[in-house]
Amino acid sequence: MIQISTPLSLAKQNSSQFAISGNKQKHTGWMPVMKLGNAVLLDTTLDLNDSLILKWKTVGNKPIQQFILKTKMIKPLIAGFRINEYFDSMTQGQKIRVLKRKKALPKGFIALKSDSIEIKAGGILELKLKPYPLLTDTIIYYRIVSKNESLILPWRSGSHVLTLPELQADNNYILELKYPNQSETSRYFLIHKPFWYQLTWVQWVMGISLLTALLVSVRWYYRRKIRLISAQRQRLEEQLTTIQSQLNPHFIFNALSSIEGLVSTGENKLANEYLTTFSMIMRETLKNTDKMLISLKEEIALLEKYISIEELRFGFNCTIKIDPDIRPDEIQVPPMLAQPLIENAVKHGAAADGILIVAIDKNENDMVITVTNNKADHKTDPQTAGGYGLTFTQQRLKHFSTLNPQTPISFSFIEHESTVEARLTFTNWFA
């Protein structure tokens, strides 16, 4: 806004005239000065790039004075800054009023000599703008954009003291300032430094440390799990070996009883044959005491020896059938697993001039060993008729299946009209 009055030296001159024009438009024509006295000649505003011309002349058109007024581009400039530890909105208004009255930079402010400001991590930036005459109370507009020009903070109005608590650490910003009704702006680059934990090398170290800790934890967890599984497996194997060793005395007791029976009846020749075959079985059995598995070929040889001594004693016929798709020397089974089933079949059926059939078949991925004997005349519960031998067998199967959940072995009895089947199913044995 601009106001123009008559100069005192010309106010009483009857011979002077004046005219005002601006932006190629005439505001007043030539008018005598005496008619206006000391009154205001013009009260108007000038926008950017506007001009105003005031001319004085005599009645005889002789120029006396000429004034040319033209607006000048003025952009807000930052005089200095300081970094505060915290932002207190309660005292912000009072602080602005105090700082506006001081022309020099207040204590704690740093004079800005470039277009960039570095802010320590977590600091609050406070700015003091350069004051211009007649513009100390003018509103300042400011906004903040990112370094790729995306808007962070829209245009806001402020004063010649600005506080920017919105800035976040580890970011770069651009601060734009302007006066009202202006399109040109002042631009400043604000570099907000990162906290120590935001530094790239610190993040790399932390990431590598966390990854190392994770790998160590996972390794420790799996090693501990493997140790526990190994310890559990070892305990189960020891229990399985114990059960297997308990089965041997039971077998020896039954064999000695058979030998005693042959001797007492005077069948010394049969007793000698029995004893010879029995000693061979015992050597193989003792050799396999610590073995969890032996080949099916070895198992069949042991069963044949055992069946032969039982045939000497009871005089029955036995047939062993092997599926042609099975290769006994390539398959492993627990030692003497089928012996208690054969012993039970002889005791409850085959001994009385009966039959005994041992079949080893392949059923898709499973191997099945079936021991079939004729049914006894007296009523017998198949589940409990086997005594200690079958009890130990069931315990062996339970421990073996726990150790080998993918290839368990199950045991079942199937009773028909004239025969009884004891069956061992080796699940996924050919998978």
CA angle 336, 329, 393 (to 5 degrees): 20
pLDDT for 286 equals 75
Tell me which residue has tokens 């008729």: 385
Q: What are the distances in angstroms from CA 187 to CA 266, 292, 427?
A: 123, 84, 80
Domain boundaries, the chain: 2-70, 78-197, 216-426
Average the pLDDT over each of 14-18, 87-91, 182-186 and give the range with the smallest value.
14-18
- Most confident of the ranges 55-59, 186-190, 242-246, 339-343: 186-190
- The pTM of the full predicted model, rounded to 2 decimals, is 0.48
What angle, 0 to 180 degrees and rounded to 10, lies between the N-to-C axes of helices 387-403 and 200-264? 160
What is the second-level CATH architecture of the domain 216-426?
2-Layer Sandwich (3.30)
Partners of 361 in the β-ladder: 368
In 3-state terms, what secondary structure has residue 147? coil
Q: What is the mean pLDDT of the chain?
A: 79
Q: Which fold has domain 78-197?
A: Immunoglobulin-like (2.60.40)
pLDDT digits (tens, 9 = 90+) for 347-402: 877 666 678 899 999 999 999 999 998 876 655 554 444 456 678 788 888 888 88
Higher pLDDT, 359 or 254: 359
Q: What are the distances in angstroms from CA 336 to CA 280, 293, 367?
A: 14, 10, 16
